[in-house]
Amino acid sequence: MEARYELYPLGERAVVIRWEGGITEAMQQRVTEAQRLLESGTLSAVQELVRAYRTITVFYDPLRLYREERQRMSLTGRVGAIAPSDSDQTGEPRSPYRIVCEWIRTRLREMEEPGAGSGKRGEGHERRLTVPVCFGGEHGPDLALIAEQAGMTSGQAIELYCSVEYIVHMIGFVPGFPYMGGLPQPLAAPRRSEPRLKVPAGSVGIAGVQTGIYPQAIPGGWQLIGRTPVRLFDAYQEPPALFRSGDRVLFQPIGAADFERLHREAEHGGKALLPSEEDRR
């Protein structure tokens, strides 16, 4: 899997890996594979990996790296916690930033090997979730407008929206908010010129060529087409967010009565996802 990337610091505690290219499924797979490689060989001081469309930010503890580097240099004839670089000829301790960059390059070099990115790696990390949605009406006040702009009825717009599989590119904006690609082009719509002061939790929206779900009741400017009873974020669960990058998502329309029933179940601890969901791993 050939791909050019750059590394740059984000303050004194993080390194950003940014790949060249657009926001495509191939890019999503590339970032997913890179994340898998980094997680499978974690540096002792790495605290967290945060991914986006075409970046991964590696957060680390610089003081721990500095102490380990000093300890490595004080030992003679032993391999310390951090392997020395072939280019380390100065006799001076490497900076934490340099250590992390060298580790990243070593881990990502595996992506350049023959067969990398063939689809065999990381298949167990992919999940498919089916999300029930009550479309239109009070739950989807912008559905009719989006359908009209697409030259179809609301029913046709719902059918088109539910006919494709979406992919979660990243989690952001607020905790648990999934940014999903794969929206059919006829349904693409700009954000509202005036954001709503309060969007109900579970609202399904469209912004540009993306779709997403609001995990909490917050202000927002996406065009709302429906609402799901699924609870997307619970700080008392592990993991707290339902979705993760790389998930595949299908939407299935439900009626108002089913929405109310599933919503009550979710409030009492039920997932409200449809039976075709895969176990959260």
- Whole-model pTM: value is 0.78
- Residues near 49 by beta carbon (within 8 Å), at least 6 away in sequence: 35, 38, 39, 56, 57, 58, 59
Identical fold for domains 5-112 and 126-267, yes or no, is no
pLDDT in tens, 125-174: 578 999 999 999 999 999 999 999 999 999 999 999 999 999 999 998 89
Spell out the CATH class of 126-267: mainly beta
Residue 88, pLDDT score:
52
Residue 80, pLDDT score:
44
Q: Into which CATH architecture does domain 5-112 fall? A: 2-Layer Sandwich (3.30)
Residue 68, pLDDT score:
85
Domain boundaries, the chain: 5-112, 126-267
Instruction: Please spell the DSSP secondary structure of 230-279, one letter per residue.
Output: ---B-TTSSSSBS--TT-EEEEEE--HHHHHHHHHHHHTT-----TTPPP
The count of C-alpha atoms lying within 13 angstroms of the C-alpha of 81, restricted to the half-sphere facing its C-beta, is 15
Asked if residue 252 lies in contact with residue 162, where contact means CB atoms within 8 angstroms, the answer is yes
Q: Can you tell me which residue has the tokens 């899997």?
A: 1
Tell me the average confidence (pLDDT) per consecutive run of 10 residues in the chain, 281 residues long. Answer: 84 96 87 92 89 94 89 60 48 86 93 57 68 98 98 98 95 93 96 96 97 97 98 89 92 97 83 53 42
- Residues near 203 by beta carbon (within 8 Å), at least 6 away in sequence: 139, 213, 214, 220, 222, 224, 226, 227
What mean pLDDT is reported for the chain? 86
Distance CA 270, CA 261 (A): 11
